Amino acid sequence: MLKTFTLTACLLGLSSLAMAKPETTEQPALHICAIKGKPSPEQYKTIKRVIAAKGTYGSVEEVYPRFVERVHQTGGDVVINYRASQRFGFWPWRFVRPVIYGTAVKWNTPVDCKALGGTEI
């Protein structure tokens, strides 16, 4: 009798686990507007200069997620003076590596990236 009760309790526990919804650890994709120049200072509040780089060779696109995350961590929604290029590293195995930099700013009005002449990352 005790074995049957224990087996039933275990099966009930397993069935409730099977019916539970899986947790999603996926975060929504973050985006920023990157402007290569410097617009009029009345339109934004400067927050902080942001740099993201990869330690070894690769493409600039591989660094985009880290750069966007850093901009959002500072509280920015637009990057001005945006530059992305391959730069020379210090060590020979890091001879050329992708680097992205710019200044994170908080825009005063809703951002229309295309109207500002920027690109959305």
| pTM exceeds 0.75 for this model | no
Domains and their CATH numbers in the chain: 31-120 (3.30.110.70)
In angstroms, rounded to a whole number, what is the distance separating the alpha carbons of residues 85 and 82?
10
Q: Is 16 a residue whose pLDDT tops 50? A: no
**Tens digit of pLDDT for each residue in 66-121?**
999 999 999 999 999 999 998 876 666 557 889 999 999 999 999 999 999 999 99
**Tens digit of pLDDT for each residue in 29-73?**
689 999 999 999 999 999 999 999 998 888 999 999 999 999 999
User: Which pLDDT value is given to residue 108?
Assistant: 94
DSSP string, 58-107: --GGGTHHHHHHHHHHHT-SEEEEEEEEEEE-SSGGGSEEEEEEEEEEEE
